[in-house]
Every structure is written in structure tokens, then in C-alpha cells.
Amino acid sequence: MKGVRDSNRTLRSGFLRSSEAFPNRPALEVGGEVWSYRRLHDRAASIAATLMRRAAADGPPLTAVFAYRSPTAFAGVLGTLFLGHGYVPLNRNFPASRTRTMLERAGCRALIVDSQSAQQLDHVLDGIERPLLLLLPEVVDVRAIAERWPQHTVLGSGDLEPPEVWEPSGVSPDAIAYLLFTSGSTGVPKGVMVAHRNVVAFVDVMVDRYGIAEEDRFSQMFEMTFDLSVFDMFVAWERGACVCCPSQKTLINPGKFIQEARLTVWFSVPSVGVLMKRLGLLRPNRYPQLKWSLFCGEPLPLEIAQAWSDAASQSVLENLYGPTELTVACAVYRWDRETSASQCEFGVVPIGQPLSEMSTLVVDDALMEVAEGGAGELLMTGPQLTLGYWQDANKTAAAFVVPMGLNKVYYRTGDRVRRPVGDQPLIYLGRLDHQIKIHGHRVELGEVEAALREAGIDAAVALGWPMTSSGAEGIVAFLGDRSADVEAIRERLKRRLPGYMVPSEFHVLNALPLNSNGKVDRKSLLKMLEVSV
């Protein structure tokens, strides 16, 4: 294995160091196989060497990875970084048209594909005119694909270069480490450009905070199109730890996965905790081997934090917060069994304090700082502030701003928080667009959802509906529990909330729909309402 002396560290640096220090330790468990650091390094180096020799040199330094919970998914990401490119993750569970749009917009000249995702190539490649290099490291016979797509160069496992052929090239810390497409308000995905220096700063803070060692075993619950997957891979690989990637089938029973994979570090969206609580998988002391229980991606309900901290009683539970534009997570709150409940508002755990070297600003509509204890939009800056949106200067200028009187660029998160008083934590109040007006009354939908949770519904969403030019005519509640007693819940809410905040309609579902990132899919719920009109 060849070492790389990066004069400036990049996202590949930690894995390369660990592959030299711990060549025989497990780096990855996926698909029933254990991949040592040496084996994963060599596969990634083969991919990088093949791309270096065969891929077109023109175009942006970006390579797409179209793979799902497979060795190629991880080796493809590393191989792209070894090449000196940024990786663009694609998801076979997305509609083909969306994947095609992401591939087109990124301008990639090469696409790394695993055997399962190869079955969707006909739909994804349809309409793409520029020649691509398609590398399928798991596929022996690629003749049928090559005949189907003669304008593209198609390579299989037999075409991989030996790992020794790979020659490391220098990479600037300011270059793109990964380009991640997130939902855009216009329906066109936005590409967030994350630089190596951004993610290295994040990884450094995480490794130090959690004291990661080579014996640790990380969950990998996230799709690679969700930036939280960056934590699982690169925080683990920075210190020679193992990433444990569950299959789609295993994801159905997270409790069994925790135990059988002997995890020490758990990281998921809170919705997984909600599901586990409902299935009776959070009994006290059920997961004694966990050292760290981490949640991010959506508000963490108080009752889930309480139940999880009892189930993983030997672990430290933390709530992380951060949009993709601030590199995975930029604030953190440590749960305390004795005192944290009193710091929660709307039944949601605080988002805490900014990570090292990150700074916050809580502002009003004019981007002027609010007083301590006041509510406003959260702005943040620091070494994790990303490069902006791919080929979209207007969106970048609107979201990355310099507030009056300051000389730093801040990112507008679109989240409402309460500015701390003294050393109190940041309190999450909801999205700016989750605050509505009903007949002139300002309503926080998060407060309605908190009341629903207090009424015994762990999975509940409140939406303003129908919307008019002056606000919403009322509130509709979705309950993810078929056993819910709607009339009893309605009566309880009437005792807790003013009349205009009590939902006029209740829709009871088996479970709330989740998006590809495992978060509650509010857009799907809105579509249900639109269809019913």
C-alpha cells in the first residue's frame, strides 16, 4: 500500500493513515463480508487507477457513485477520493429522472456502479448524450451493457487495474470533497459543495469529542445521498474503527442490528428511535455495549431521548444539529437524565452549543441580532461553512450572507431558535416555514405536535391546511398509530391549546411516511391532502 503525505489533509488522509497503521483490522462489514483496511484500500486504489487511465480528463473533477449498501458503494467513494475527485453519491431508490438530473448537473465523466444498481442503468442513462465511463467493479461480463450503450465506455471487474498502479496526486483542501444534492424549493435539486477543509474540520472535532479508537464499531444507517453518512465512514476510518453497514432487511430490526453487530457508536435520525419505541425495542438496559448514542437530522422528541437513554444506559446520548451547508453537524447537546427535561421546549431536545470554532447569530427578519431569550433565525459561520451551491450563484448569494456590521459570511439555516441566555443551550423552535398564521394568530406547528406527543402519540405531524394568501384556515394532524383514540386526543388538546390551534381534522395512518433520509416526509402528507380535495 502506498502512503500519501498530504501537505494539507484531505478527506482521504485519515483512511490512508489507518490503512497503514491497521492493515488487517476490519474497516467495513457489508453484505455478510468483512473488509480489512488493506483489502478496502486495494479495491479503492484499483478503482482510482482504472479511472485515472481510462476516464476522460475534461470536465469537473467529480465522479458519481451509483451504489447501495455494497462494497462498491464504499470502495467507490474512497476510489474517487484517491483519484483526487469529489464524489457525487446517487441513490437507486430515487426516481430515475431525479438521479439523471443529478448526474447531468454535476457534469461527471465517470460513473461507478454496483451490480444491483446496474439494473437501473437503462432508465438513468436514457437521454444522457455526453460519453461516460461506466465502471462496474462487481460485474464480470459487461458485454450486454456495452452493446446497449455503445456511446459509453463500459468496464467490468476484469478491467480493474492492479492497486499498485495507483499514483497519488495532490489535492487542495479547498477542492470539493463531495457534492451532495438536496431538495430545492423549485423542485430542482440543489448541489451543496463541501470542501475537504470543511469536512476535515468536522471529523477532527468528532474524533476528539468521542475519543474514537480502533476497537469502535459504527452503525451506518444512512444512505450516501444523506450527508450524515459522512460521519459514519470518515470518523470511523480516521481512527481505524469499523463501519457496520446493515442490509435493507436488517434495517427493519435496528435493535437486533445493534446487538448482533456489537455496535459501540450509534447514529441515526430520531424517527428510528420513534419506531423502536413503538415496537417495544427500547426496554431498559437492552443495549449495554453502546458507548455513544447520537441523533441528528430532525428534532429529537423528549420522550425518545428518555427511552433511549434508559435502553442504552451505559452510553452518552447527544443530539446533533446541522444542515448540509454547514457540513454534517455544527451544534451538539449532551443529554442529562436529571436536568435535560426541564430545558426542552415543545417536547423537543435542545440543539445545544456550536461545535469548536463555529459561531452563531440569532437574527430577526432584517438580519439584526435579537436580544437574549428572543426568537429568530439561526445563522452560523466557521470552518465548516461550505462553498455554496453548485453552479447557482443566485441561490448561494441568498443563503450565504454577510449581516450588516460584520465581515464574515454566515449561512441562513431557515431554522427558528431561541437565543441563549448566558450559558443556556440553543433551543430549536422549528422551521421558519413551520410557523403559520390562522385568522391572525401566529401558530408554531411544533407546539401542536408537542401537545400530540403529550397525548401519547409518538409519531405526529401538524400541517397548516388549507393555505390561503393570508395564512392557513386551520390545522390538520396526521397520527402514525392505528390504535389512536382520536376523540380522546381531541379533548385532551382542547384542554391544552387555544381553539384555533386544535386540529380540525385527524388522519390516522399505520405509520408516517419517511423520505429517503429516514425523516418524516411532510411533502407526502401535503400531497395526500391535495389529492383528497
Q: Is the pLDDT of residue 497 over 90?
A: no
pTM of model > 0.75: yes
Q: Which of these, 511, 530, 533, lies nearest to 521 by C-alpha position? A: 511
Instruction: Tell whether the model's pLDDT for residue 357 goes beyond 70.
Output: yes
Nearest to 380 by CA among 421, 409, 423, 420: 409
Average pLDDT over residues 113-118: 96
Which amino acid is present at 64? Answer: A
Cell numbers at residue 140, please? 464480470
User: How far apart are alpha carbons 164 and 167 in whole angstroms?
Assistant: 8
Q: Is the pLDDT of residue 358 over 90?
A: yes
Q: Domains in the chain, start-ordered, CATH in brackets?
A: 35-171 (3.40.50.980), 198-430 (3.40.50.12780), 439-532 (3.30.300.30)
Q: Check whether 512 has a pLDDT greater than 90.
A: yes
Place of cell 461516460: 132
With beta carbons less than 8 A apart as the criterion, state whether 297 and 325 touch. no
Each residue of 223-254: pLDDT tens digit?
999 999 999 999 999 999 999 999 988 999 99
Helix pair 13-21, 37-54: axis angle to 10 deg = 130
Give the mean pLDDT of 141-156. Answer: 96
Return d(Cα 526, Cα 466) in angstroms, integer. 10
Q: What residues does 159 pair with on adjacent strands? A: none
For the ranges 137-141, 284-288, 357-361, 471-475, the lowest mean pLDDT is seen at 471-475
Q: What percent of the chain has pLDDT over 90?
A: 81
Q: Which of 146, 189, 147, 195 is nearest to 172 (CA)?
A: 195
Contact 175, 196 (CB under 8 A): yes
pLDDT surpasses 60 at 2: no
Cα gap 448→450, rounded to integer Å:
5
> Which pLDDT value is given to residue 43?
99
Confidence of residue 531 (pLDDT cuts 50, 70, 90): confident
Query: In this predicted structure, what is the pLDDT of residue 518?
Result: 87
Cα 51 to Cα 112: distance, rounded to the nearest angstrom: 9
304-339: per-residue pLDDT in tens? 999 999 999 999 999 999 999 999 999 999 999 999
Mean predicted confidence (pLDDT) in 370-376:
96
In percent, the amount of the chain with pLDDT more than 70 equals 97
Residue that wins the pLDDT comparison between 188 and 111: 111
Round to whole Å and give the CA distance between 259 and 247. Answer: 15
CA dist 77 and 181 (Å) reads 16
24 phi, psi to nearest 5 deg: -100, 0
Query: Which residue's entry shows cell 425523516?
Result: 519
Q: Which whole number is the average pLDDT over 127-137?
A: 95
Report which of 84, 70, 27, 62 is spatially closest to residue 243, judged by C-alpha positions: 27
Which residues partner with 87 through β-bridges?
A: 63, 178
**Cα torsion for 257, 259, 260, 261, to the nearest 10°?**
70
Q: Evaluate if residue 7 carries a pLDDT over 70.
A: no
pLDDT at position 5 over 50:
no
Q: What is the pLDDT of residues 392-405, one digit of tens each?
A: 999 999 999 999 99
**Cα angle for residues 92, 44, 59 (degrees, 5° grid):** 70
Bridge partner residues of 476 (DSSP): 463, 505
Residue 439 C-beta-side C-alpha neighbours within 13 Å: 7
The strand ranges marked E within 91-175 are 110-113, 133-135, 153-155
pLDDT of residue 214: 98
**pLDDT tens track for 439-459:** 767 788 888 998 999 898 989
Q: Given this model, what pLDDT does residue 98 score? A: 87
DSSP letters, 360-410, are EEEE-TTSPBPPTT-EEEEEEESTT---EETT-HHHHHHHEE--TT--S-E
The CA distances from residue 343 to 209, 274, 391, 453, in Å, are 22, 21, 41, 17
